[in-house]
Amino acid sequence: MRLAAGEAEARRLDEADPGHRHLFHVPPAAGGRYAETAYLAGNSLGLQPRAVRDELLADLDAWRDLGVEGHLDAERPWLSYHERLTGPAARLVGARPAETVVMNSLTVNLHLLMVSFYRPAGRRTRIVIEDSAFPSDSYAVRSQVRFHGLDPETEVVRLRPRPGEDTLRTADIVDHLAGAADRTALVLLGGVNYLTGELIDIPAVTAAARAAGVTVGWDLAHAAGNVPLRLHDWDVDFAAWCSYKYLNAGPGALSGVFVHERHLGRGDLPRFEGWWSTEAATRFAMAPVSRPPATVEAWAISNPPILAMGPVRTSLELFDAVGMPALRERSLRLTGQLDRLLAEVGRGRPLAVVTPRDPRRRGCQLSVRVGAVGAAELTRRLRYEHGVIADAREPDIVRFAPVPLYSTYHDCWRVADALAAVLPRTGGRP
């Protein structure tokens, strides 16, 4: 497809495969010839669903009208509000309701989970992560290692791609786990790598870790709402994810937690406890000793922030209505189209896709290396000259995420058209 002739084709594709853009607020464009932004940064912060405002105002009205009695008398009683999120969250990640809870923020939850599941003993003291893990994951595992009196320089193992490659190979991860099982206490990887967009083979790596007797957890910040997940069936020990990226629940929105049912009700697992860690039936007995339920709610600590839970509930209801299988199929079509357009733009320009080209090894995000042009400067020009919002990771990676809920084929064409205008051809100007 020639870019000059591609806009009409993009419009035709959108008519045939429209998605659900009408359910979201799309920011106005800061530049270019279109009224709306071509928003390709949902991997960083999802757009606002139109339903959120009224739903949030309804929760505010309950507080206004009922005061403390809203705990029991609100239309959505606050005491059990979090339970409204459990079923949809469990369905989203392929879990059972008893294994799933929404609470806190992502890194807080990873710390709470590592209290239970990072138990260094004897020679098994190391945590395995990917070298390009999101920085907060790196900080979290290093601090957990230090908390146990160990040295993160030796006890945090960072898996790197082979020389000259950008992404990890499943076989290399599996081989490492088999060869280092006697030194490894925990594997904690990103389901979809934030930088490269690579979808790790979660079931294969989980199976390898469990075969080696190693506990395995997953940071699903870039996977939940992006790719289909079956955490229970895959035998994952634990996982956590945020809800402000593909789940569109707002800046800093709450996190989800999964703990496999084989760990529920275990008295030998240490946990931090608080007001919400005890069983609901006796919570107001005000007993001095917790009676944790045999569910993942035993890992909960504080009562849930109702005004923060409303947007998550609204978003999860949308995912329930549309369904991850349908979203994944549309994602494959959208990202495939963007991939083809980027290949065309990249001929003779400093642009290379670093995300795996195999659709089975990626979600919706494509990460592009832009060389000496500079990621921050490129995204600035895309936004203010062409109305395209993407995400820069310095020095040279720009991330484009056509989100199947609200992105369009025309958005993908606008990205390619803007890159063709902004990026210089090799040895000359665009």
Burial bucket for residue 183 (CB in 10 Å: 0-12, 13-18, 19+): middle
Q: The tokens of 286 are what? A: 């005000």
Topology of the domain comprising 81-321: Aspartate Aminotransferase; domain 2 (3.40.640)
Regions of the chain short of the pLDDT cut 70: 1-5, 427-430
Tell me, yes or no, if the two domains 3-50+323-422 and 81-321 fold the same way.
no
Euclidean distance between CA atoms 274 and 209, whole angstroms: 31
Alpha helices in 180-262 (DSSP H): 202-211, 231-234
Burial bucket for residue 108 (CB in 10 Å: 0-12, 13-18, 19+): middle
> With the C-alpha atoms ordered 379, 381, 384, 385, is the resulting torsion angle positive or negative?
negative
Task: Please tell me the predicted confidence (pLDDT) of residue 2.
Answer: 52
Task: Please tell me the predicted confidence (pLDDT) of residue 283.
Answer: 86
Give domain limits for the chain.
3-50+323-422, 81-321
Euclidean distance between CA atoms 174 and 387, whole angstroms: 43
Task: Please tell me the predicted confidence (pLDDT) of residue 177.
Answer: 96
pTM: 0.96
Q: Please report how many Cα atoms fall inside a 13 Å half-sphere around the Cα of residue 306, on the Cβ side.
A: 21
Task: Please tell me the predicted confidence (pLDDT) of residue 430.
Answer: 41
* Amino acid letter, 249: A
Euclidean distance between CA atoms 411 and 322, whole angstroms: 21
CATH 3.90.1150.10 for the 3-50+323-422 domain, yes or no:
yes
